[in-house]
A and B are shown apart, each in its own frame.
Chain A
Amino acid sequence: MHSTFPVIALLVLLPTVGAVVVGLLPKSRRELVLPIATALSTLPLAVALYILWEFSATDGAAFQFTESVSWYEPWGIGWNVGIDGISLLLITLTAILFPLSILASTSVVKDVKLFMVSMLLLETGLLGVFVSLDLLLFFVFFEMTLVPMYLLIGIWGSENRVYAAIKFFLYTALGSALLLTGIVALAVMYGNETGTISFAFQDLLGLELSANAQLWLFLGFGAAFAIKVPLFPFHTWLPDAHTEAPTAGSVILAGVLLKLGTYGFVRFNLTLFPEATVRLAPWLAGLAVVGIIYGAAVAIVQPDVKRLVAYSSVSHLGFIVLGTFALTSQGLQGGVIQMVNHGLTTGALFLLVGMIYERRHTRQISDYGGLAGVMPLFAGVFLFMAFASIGLPGLNGFIGEFKILLGSYLAFPVMAILAASGVVLAAIYLLWAYERMFTGPVTNAANAGLKDLNARELTILVPIALLVVLLGIYPKPALDRIEPAVENIIERIEEATGHESPEFGRIDDLPAATGENSP
């Protein structure tokens, strides 16, 4: 918005350029692949940081840096992109996690080049999803993430990789089919209304849809997103995919890919189908609460630590969906910030699990024990990330969870109370796992001589740890950017449906600090 330079195009295409560069590296210089790929992946990060810097917080509701190039005028298909406060943070998260997870991939030996090409193409896809303001473009990027992730799991995964990859692929492809159907139907309806078909998000926002059409379209879009999130009971692809994927794959899956679902709900379902949203909100919030408790309970008894972290994602994503469909400003803000928080902490937990796996080649909790004495630094960082994930105040996870709980109580008190039990369960599954892996005497001789974190591993973990603290103590800059965008969505729903976001759900309703105003 400050210049006509297409900064978003640059952001999205840089990883692809990187993929091409990596692909052209000579076969004989394998050792160069990882350093070069890491270096290349910092370029989009630089652009993302530039965008973060230039983004105007006061205009957080508006799409900024917009670019619009028409491809196929008659159908209104084009390169319509822009960034608002919601996508801003997800872009930054994506750009941060990629260099870190590429740097963490030293144990990949098979086809390193193809691995890095897949990672970089995946990054283009993910960044593309978050900036797309054209539904067909969105769909193309949405699909584009599928292939590299499928390859990452299927080629570089562990024992059960093929099963996990195919399951991941088929499951999400099923959702995609419904999504595409929904998108085309929406565009055609727009065409019937106005005479010209359009896939442009801004055009479609103006479309008046019947309650029935909204319901069906919501379900079509929602199916794809619910699978991605994943919402209970569509979650069973997740533990398999997360567990079998190589470390970098798990980090990106949990850190970013799942957010495609929650982002999709926020960006499209809430805005395009407000009436259906209001109607279905209690159901989705209900499924979210089931997911919170169910995911956590199942996590407790997992014998495989990676699977445990995977199921914790089901629980955490449940919080995000609950906050979203509370349809209060507080809940939705909490949901958005929690997308970032979960990406950081769960991403870090997967990185840590990967690091210990590289040393011991086992994911079974029972194979460990007493690691805190052997690898004190590793244990400290693990515990730190575990507490961030548990939602310890002062660290990032709390901010989102707290806002979600307060915000959803205003709309669905009973569900919010049930969801709050998730905080007890999270402490149980993570601390019990920590107890079994890290405390007590070293019982297994194979664990005795393990090396503590090295400089490369610290380079990966320290930036995340800093962000975890920063977002926990001073989340204001992030929240300031989310808030206008979220208010915008809630206002839209209120105007379109007559639904009233409950008292105190909106910042305007806060009484003055004197405490004189009371309901």
Chain B
Amino acid sequence: MDFLIFLIVALPLAGFLELLFFGKRIGEPGAGYVASATVGISFVLALIAGFDFLQGGEHGRTVELFAWIPSLGLNATFLWDPLSAMMTLVVTGVGALIHIYSIGYMHGDPGFGRFFTYMNLFITSMLLLVLGANFGILFVGWELVGLSSYLLISFWFEKPSAAAAGKKAFVVNRIGDFGFLIALMLIFNSFGSLDYGSVFEGAEATLTAGTATAIALLLLVGAAGKSAQLPLYVWLPDAMEGPTPVSALIHAATMVTAGVYMVARTGALFELSSVAGAVVTTVGALTAFYAATIAIGQRDIKRVLAYSTISQLGYMFMGVGALALVGGVFHLVTHAFFKALLFLGAGSVIHAMAGEQDMGKMGGLRKKVPVTFATMVIAWIAISGIPPFAGFWSKDEILASVFNRGGGYIVLWAVGIVTAGLTAFYMSRMMFLTFWGEPRWDDGVVPHESPRSMTVPLLALAGLSAVGGLINTPWRPALEHFLEPSFELVDQTHLPEAGVQVALAAVSIAAGVIGLLVAYRRYVSRATQLEEGGRWDTLLAGYHVDDLYGRTIVAPGKAAADVMAFTADAKLVDGAVNGMGGLVNWAGRILSKLQTGMVRSYGLGILGGVVGVVVWLLVAGGGF
């Protein structure tokens, strides 16, 4: 069993190493097969290893590989419990599908081997993140997924915008990591350990409310970076520079959910601070609403999905922040299905349109790419919160739990409902502009359906998006039951009573339907074209937040560095040194006869001096 769990990580790692050294030689399509196979087998192994958890009550095990930093008590240890098993299944399952899809999508790219090398590195890193049994391994995975993300966003590095986007993603994430690191310092300072077991079990007895709040909020800073929440979300829209399968896997289904996973995993710490929980929920709600408004105004199909991802991650934060840990994690799972599908579908559309991403140049694609269209419709309904598709169940569980907390949380619930309406609207807008109406294609574009390697993963994800929500329904909460052992230390928020639940569900379904209908009237009945000008431009530019950050943080920061480097350092500090030197030099003119200007003769003089001292010591000491 332990070996099985080890293999789950070791296989993608072996794939990565093989491709790193022999990827060029293996070439296309072999590299894709190696990568897909390793991830696929990991998925199967995870299914086998996770089977015991289905009976319920099983707490899982830790698998210790070797001592890593012994004096910090940090070992390379995996924790195989229901939560990590579930995450592993999502990562390897969705990962394998996207790997297979990529074999078709990346066909003919000169970097084919390199692409799959990075993809396997990502899977390995993400598995470390979710399987680590302590904050150390979590952080290793956390940083390595950041590295993979950097490499994959700037995959087409000849493109300056892609290279810049990769760097931006890494740097913004590092700002989040700054918070994460301080949280780790505080945790180590309080517990003398970074082991999940010691920390979570000792938390209540050890931490004061203040320390717990500080730790939780600092962890949130890290989570907000990785999961693209306000105010650190700015890297994610730019991350769309990466190949579309990357956006699907890393920037929708898995890596960006790491922050949600982290909050859920550390629920025992968040539970101790009602302030931190409220902050997380508020950040989530605000991000969900804010990003949804921006998504409305996007023209690039991938950017719609990027802002949509930020928004949906906001829902997950609302869930875990309100201590509806199961709800948050549940939405993580369903979102992985339908958002991966939307991205892969968008990739298929882009593929069909010969690289075009501007929805202004799409339209009328229904008949041209029927499989892509049909599968995307399922994802569209799922994200819009229409039952019985996947998104409805998870989003509703979150919103109902938030409502049930009462007080100020009811306001956040309302924000969530409004966002649900906006979600249905922008997603419908995207679908209508892409698939309905008259073609607005550029000359010479002949849309065609994608190859089987791409459509089969679409169909698989469509199936999951349709029925995936049924793993946790109010009358059969299988996922909740499954995850119970992982969350037993946390007193979770419960769902309201049945009648209230039905009423709340009705409200959120209504919001979704209204969003759909408004979009239908606007983009189908009246055949509205893509909007331009005025407020639409502001939305398109994401409220110009990038400019704002540029003007208020980047530019002043660089100016400060310039002052430090070229004024303070060169003139003041070094000037003082040279000034002293000048003084000495002036005095030294008296001895100027010795200055021959030859470096070598100075050197010989010094050498002679040192030798002289040694010789004197030898002689004075009686020699050998």
Contacts and interface: CB of A to CB of B under 8 A. Distances in A.
Interface of A: 70-73, 77-78, 136, 140, 143-144, 146-147, 150-151, 154-155, 162, 165, 167, 169-171, 233, 235-237, 294, 297-298, 300-302, 329-330, 333, 370, 372-373, 387, 392-394, 398-399, 402-403, 405-406, 409-410, 413, 416-417, 420-421, 423-424, 427-428, 431-432, 434-435, 438-441, 473-476, 479-480, 483, 503-504, 507, 509-511, 513-519
Interface string B85-121: 0000000000000000000000000000000000000
B618 interface: yes
25 contacts: A70-B621, A144-B610, A147-B610, A150-B599, A150-B606, A154-B599, A154-B602, A155-B600, A162-B599, A298-B565, A300-B558, A301-B558, A301-B562, A329-B71, A330-B72, A405-B181, A423-B177, A424-B175, A439-B158, A441-B158, A441-B160, A479-B69, A483-B71, A511-B198, A518-B191
B619 to A, nearest CB: 10
The 7 A-B residue pairs with the shortest CB-CB distance, nearest first, are A515-B198, A72-B621, A439-B163, A71-B621, A154-B599, A504-B192, A409-B185
Contacts of A428: 171
Given A140-B610, A236-B569, A511-B192, 4 more contacts: A136-B617, A143-B610, A393-B143, A440-B157
Nearest to A232: B573
A237 B576 CA distance: 12
A146 B170 contact: no
A370 B573 CA distance: 35
A427 B174 contact: yes
B206 interface: yes
A432 B140 CA distance: 23
B147 interface: yes
A146 B561 contact: no
A513 B610 contact: no
A140 B614 contact: yes
B178 interface: yes
B73 interface: yes
Given A420-B182, A439-B160, A150 B202 contact: no
Given A150-B606, A476-B67, A480-B70, A515 B199 contact: yes
A515 B201 contact: yes
Contact of A510 (B73, B159, B566): B73
Contacts of A473: 68
Contacts of B333: none
Contact of A392 (B67, B143, B617): B143
Nearest to A480: B70
A236 B573 contact: yes
Nearest to B562: A301
A406 B618 contact: no
A504 B188 contact: yes
A301 B561 contact: yes
Contacts of A402: 69, 72
B192 A237 contact: no
B185 A416 contact: yes
Which DSSP category, helix, strand, loop or mixed, fits chain B's interface? helix
Contacts of B68: 473-476
Contact of A421 (B72, B157, B178): B178
B193 interface: yes
Nearest to B159: A440
A409 B174 CA distance: 19
B71 A333 contact: yes
Contacts of B2: none
Given A394-B140, A409-B185, A423-B178, A167 B581 contact: yes
A370 B208 CA distance: 53
A237 B580 CA distance: 13
Contacts of B201: 514-515
Given A167-B581, A393-B143, A519-B206, A151 B599 contact: yes
Contacts of A140: 610, 613-614, 617
Interface residues of B, number: 77
Interface in B552-599: 558, 560-562, 564-566, 569, 573-574, 577, 581, 584, 599
Contacts of A519: 190, 192, 206
Given A150-B606, A515-B193, A516-B202, A406 B184 contact: yes
Given A150-B602, A440-B158, A513-B193, A420 B573 contact: no
Contact of B189 (A70, A393, A504): A504
Contacts of A143: 610
B171 A424 contact: yes
B195 A503 contact: no
B533 interface: no
A440 B157 CA distance: 6
Interface in B238-258: none
Contacts, number: 213
A403 B69 contact: yes
Contacts of A474: 66, 68
Contact of B71 (A297, A417, A427, A479): A479
Contacts of B167: 431-432, 434-435
B603 interface: yes
A405 B574 CA distance: 30
Contact of B573 (A233, A399, A403, A440): A233
A392 B149 CA distance: 14
B534 interface: no
Contacts of A413: 185, 189
A511 B620 CA distance: 56
Given A154-B599, A298-B569, A431-B167, A77 B617 contact: yes
Interface in B46-85: 66-73
A406 B182 contact: no
A171 B142 CA distance: 43
A276 to B, nearest CB: 26
Contact of B157 (A330, A409, A439, A509): A439
B353 to A, nearest CB: 25
B446 interface: no
A392 B147 contact: yes
B622 A72 contact: yes
Nearest to A370: B158
B154 A439 contact: yes
A460 to B, nearest CB: 19
Contact of A71 (B147, B181, B206, B622): B622
A306 B48 CA distance: 53
B603 A150 contact: yes
A325 B178 CA distance: 22
A136 B617 CA distance: 10
A395 B312 CA distance: 34
A405 B185 contact: yes
Contacts of B72: 330, 402-403, 406
B198 A165 contact: no
B255 to A, nearest CB: 16
Contact of B158 (A236, A373, A424): A373
Contacts of B73: 510, 513
Interface string B128-158: 0000000010011011100100100010011
A387 to B, nearest CB: 6
Nearest to A518: B206
- Among B174, B181, B618, find the residue whose CB has the most chain A CB atoms closer than 10 A: B181
Contact of B70 (A151, A435, A479): A479
Contacts of B66: 474, 476
B518 to A, nearest CB: 43
B192 A509 contact: yes
Contact of A435 (B158, B163, B614): B163
B603 A147 contact: yes
Contact of A518 (B195, B205, B565): B205
Nearest to B576: A233
A236 B577 contact: yes
A171 to B, nearest CB: 7
Interface in B164-182: 164, 167, 170-171, 174-175, 177-178, 181-182
A237 B174 CA distance: 31
B181 A420 contact: yes
